[in-house]
A and B are shown apart, each in its own frame.
Chain A
Amino acid sequence: MQKYVLRRLLLAVPVLLLSSLIVFSLMRVMPGDALIALMGESGNVGQKELAKLRKDLGLDRPYYEQYLLWLWQMVSLNPGDSIFTNEPIPVSLKKAIPVTVELATLAMIIGIAIAVPVGVLSATRQDKPSDYVGRVVAVSGLSIPDFWLGTLVITFSAIWVHWIPPIGYVSLWDSPWRNLQQFLLPAAVLGFRLSAATMRMTRSTVLETLREDYVRTAWAKGLAGRIVVYKHALKNALIPVVTLTGLQIGVLLSGAVIVETVFAWPGIGRLIIEAIHTRDYPLVQAAVVLMALLFVVVNQGVDLCYRWLDPRVAGRRG
Chain B
Amino acid sequence: MSPVDASAPARPADVPAAPLAIEVTMRSRRFGLALKPAFGIVVGTALVLGTLVPGQIAPASPTDQQLAERLRPPAWMAGGTTSHLLGTDSLGRDVCSRVIYGARTTFLVALVSSLIGGIGGTGLGLLAGYHGGMLDELVRKLVDMQLAFPYLLLAISVMAVAGRSLPILVVVLALSSWPAFARIVRGEVLSLRERQFIEGARAIGCDDRRILLAHVLPGVTASLCVVWSFDLARVVVLESSLSFLGLGVQPPTPSWGMDLSESRQFLQIAYWTVLFPGLAISLVVLAANLVGDWVRDVLDPIVKRSRASV
A interface vs B, CB < 8 Å? 15, 18-19, 22-23, 26-27, 30-32, 121, 123-127, 132, 139-140, 142-145, 147-148, 151-152, 154-155, 158-159, 197, 200-201, 204, 207, 210-211, 215-216, 219-220, 222, 224-226, 228-229, 233, 240, 244, 247, 250-251, 253-254, 257-258, 261-262, 272-273, 276-277, 284, 288, 291-292, 295-296, 299
Q: Can you give 12 contacting A-B residue pairs, CB < 8 Å?
A: A126-B21, A127-B24, A145-B257, A148-B278, A159-B268, A200-B310, A210-B18, A225-B16, A229-B16, A247-B147, A250-B151, A276-B160
Inter-chain contacts of A155 with B (CB < 8 A)? 267-268, 271, 274
B304 to chain A, nearest CB (A): 10
Nearest A residue to B244 by beta-carbon distance? A147
Q: Is the CB of A148 within 8 A of B310?
A: no
B interface vs A, CB < 8 Å? 4, 7-9, 11-12, 15-22, 24-25, 28-29, 145, 147-154, 156-158, 160-163, 233, 237, 240-241, 244-247, 257, 260-261, 264, 267-268, 271, 274-275, 278, 281-283, 285-286, 289-290, 293, 307-308, 310
Given A155-B271, A244-B310, A258-B244: A224 and B285 interface contact (C-beta under 8 Å): no
Q: Is the CB of B18 within 8 A of A215?
A: yes
Given A15-B148, A148-B278: A211 and B162 interface contact (C-beta under 8 Å): no
Q: Is the CB of A151 within 8 A of B156?
A: no
Given A145-B281, A148-B260, A224-B15: A288 and B21 interface contact (C-beta under 8 Å): no
Nearest B residue to A29 by beta-carbon distance? B161
Nearest A residue to B286 by beta-carbon distance? A143
Q: Helix, strand, loop or mixed for chain A's interface?
A: helix
Q: Helix, strand, loop or mixed for chain B's interface?
A: helix
B293 to chain A, nearest CB (A): 7
Q: CA of A103 to CA of B75 in the docked complex: distance in angstroms?
A: 40
Q: Is the CB of A26 within 8 A of B157?
A: yes
Q: Is the CB of A30 within 8 A of B161?
A: yes
Q: Is the CB of B15 within 8 A of A226?
A: yes
Q: Is the CB of A261 within 8 A of B245?
A: yes
Q: CA of A215 to CA of B281 in the docked complex: distance in angstroms?
A: 42
Q: CA of A22 to CA of B281 in the docked complex: distance in angstroms?
A: 31
Inter-chain contacts of A224 with B (CB < 8 A)? 11, 15
Nearest A residue to B29 by beta-carbon distance? A127
Q: Is the CB of B237 within 8 A of A151?
A: no
Given A152-B278, A244-B310, A291-B150: A125 and B16 interface contact (C-beta under 8 Å): yes
Q: Is the CB of B153 within 8 A of A228?
A: no
Interface centre among B15, B25, B162, B275 (most CB of A within 10 A): B15
Q: Is the CB of B310 within 8 A of A201?
A: yes
Q: CA of A305 to CA of B145 in the docked complex: distance in angstroms?
A: 21
Nearest A residue to B152 by beta-carbon distance? A254
Given A127-B28, A127-B29, A145-B237: A291 and B153 interface contact (C-beta under 8 Å): yes
B24 to chain A, nearest CB (A): 6
Q: Is the CB of B285 within 8 A of A147?
A: no
Q: Is the CB of B17 within 8 A of A151?
A: no
Q: CA of A244 to CA of B308 in the docked complex: distance in angstroms?
A: 9
Inter-chain contacts of B283 with A (CB < 8 A)? 143
Q: Is the CB of B16 within 8 A of A145?
A: no
Inter-chain contacts of A123 with B (CB < 8 A)? 21
Q: Is the CB of A207 within 8 A of B148?
A: no
Q: CA of A251 to CA of B290 in the docked complex: distance in angstroms?
A: 21
- The contact of A219 among B8, B145, B233, B237, by CB within 8 Å, is B8
A229 to chain B, nearest CB (A): 6
A295 to chain B, nearest CB (A): 6
Listed from nearest, the 6 A-B pairs whose CB atoms lie closest are A124-B16, A225-B15, A148-B278, A254-B152, A143-B286, A276-B160
Nearest A residue to B243 by beta-carbon distance? A147
B251 to chain A, nearest CB (A): 15
Inter-chain contacts of A31 with B (CB < 8 A)? 162
Inter-chain contacts of A144 with B (CB < 8 A)? 278, 282, 285
Inter-chain contacts of A19 with B (CB < 8 A)? 149
Given A27-B161, A151-B267, A284-B160: A219 and B19 interface contact (C-beta under 8 Å): yes
B33 to chain A, nearest CB (A): 12
Inter-chain contacts of B289 with A (CB < 8 A)? 139, 142-143
